[in-house]
Amino acid sequence: MVNLERFRKVNEDFSRVADFVTVYIAEAHPTDGWAIEGNVEIANHKNLEERFAAAQRMIEMEPVDCPVLVDLLTDEANKAYGGMPERLYIVQDGVIVYKGNQGPFGYKLREVEEWLKKYKGE
């Protein structure tokens, strides 16, 4: 959630060049798992309703100006894209043209910005 404010800014700056989407996956630090003190208190999702509720809570806490999709409980999107705990991708015409490293340390919005600037012709 720390990166959402900056993500919103990138989304705003490049909304005419790209469509943005956020995919909410399994909770990275659930209270009944690898919890971090001071983190938002969300338990592992036991059903899809709980995952939707957690995604809604994220949106209420840190609104984003793009669609928020929710991964299945079988974690299909997370498995396909290695998103845990967070990751950035750029997909153009069905082809992955940028694949960021896994977060939190590999989550580099600056790289996405640079790619989009080049694409935009800046």
Q: Would you say residue 20 has pLDDT above 90?
A: yes
Q: Given this model, what pLDDT does residue 2 score?
A: 63
CATH of region 4-120, choose from 3.40.30.10, 3.20.20.140, 3.40.50.1100, 3.90.870.30? 3.40.30.10
- pLDDT higher than 60, residue 12: yes
pLDDT of 54 > 70? The answer is yes
Structure tokens at 112: 């996405």
Region 40-50: mean pLDDT is 82
pLDDT value of position 74: 94
d(CA 68, CA 4) in angstroms, rounded, equals: 12
User: Has residue 35 got a pLDDT over 70?
Assistant: no
Place of tokens 């938002």: 40
- Give mean pLDDT, residues 14-40: 78
pLDDT at residue 105 is higher than 80: yes
